[in-house]
Structure 1
């Protein structure tokens, strides 16, 4: 595993991911959505941690294996994060029996977006992570456009 100094930098990245994901979570809580502040913070920060430690983890776990036999694919950890977060997101989606209505799809996709923020911080793409945070806040603020769109599509 990395030195104490390197581990502290990883913890700082996890904190940055948690703060950026908290901004997203606060927006979700203000709209009284099922996955709010804590859920988005957890998803964003754990995504960052998994990405940040994956190179060292591979090296540590395979330290007794000759280098030519090691086939590490860094995309696998991102794939695992996406699968896990999608599973959590699926739990927030509700379909009502009596109506043809599905709710909380935006909340589920916002959780995946928070994972993207964490992955960005974990790969040291801070500008992208900050940009993603602003973009999702703007996207989630566009809900009032649905009312305008339905006005024009009414028959």
Structure 2
């Protein structure tokens, strides 16, 4: 196995971790159940899983070249299944009374997993754009929600 191919998988993984960390930092600053480290690790694991899958397809030690074929979406399904358990844990761990908390954090974990998948496949611009859109949703829409909820209710007629 070529060391340079493995090096580029690590570069993609690091890139995914930086993007996931930016989203995790936003969650951390709002004291949410999954923060900086969790988001970094989910994004990195997603990217690494995709990279390992791609390397294994090219590895002649596993089978002669061209003998193994796979649907790349199976790797994505594995990532999503793993993140589903983590997301469910963030929701259930912060359940208070009848209200359910942690859904946005669970969704952000899913998003960083998909960002990691994009980085793992080498779609760096797509991963960056998705991370920026995610940060926009988490930060800007939160400000808008606070403004709307701060308005006094209309008087009863």
TM-score band w.r.t. shorter chain: 0.7 to 0.9
Partner of 2:87: 89
Q: How does 1:28-47 map to 2 (within 5 A)?
A: 28-47=27-46
Residues 1:8 and 1:71: Cα distance change in structure 2 (over 3 Å):
closer
- Count of aligned pairs between the two proteins: 150
Kept in 1: contact 2:43–2:115 (CA 8 A)? yes
CA distance in 1, matches of 2:106, 2:153: 28
Partner of 1:74: 72
Partner of 1:63: 63
Partner of 2:4: 5
Kept in 1: contact 2:51–2:121 (CA 8 A)? yes
Q: Deviations over 1:98-139 (max 9, x none)?
A: xx3111100000000000110010111111100011111111
CA distance in 1, matches of 2:62, 2:6: 20
* TM-score, structure 1 normalization: 0.86
Could you tell me how far 1:5 is from its partner in structure 2? 1.0
CA distance in 2, matches of 1:20, 1:110: 12
CA distance in 2, matches of 1:23, 1:56: 27
CA distance in 1, matches of 2:117, 2:20: 11
Could you tell me how far 1:57 is from its partner in structure 2? 2.0
Please point out which of 107, 128, 131 is paired with 1:130: 128
* TM-score, structure 2 normalization: 0.85
Could you tell me how far 1:146 is from its partner in structure 2? 2.5
Instruction: State the Cα RMSD in Å.
Output: 2.3
Matched, 1:52 2:58: no
CA distance in 2, matches of 1:119, 1:45: 9
Bigger Cα displacement from structure 2, 88-97 vs 76-85: 88-97
Matched, 1:20 2:19: yes
Could you tell me how far 1:151 is from its partner in structure 2? 6.2
Partner of 1:105: 103
Matched, 1:116 2:114: yes
CA distance in 2, matches of 1:47, 1:135: 19
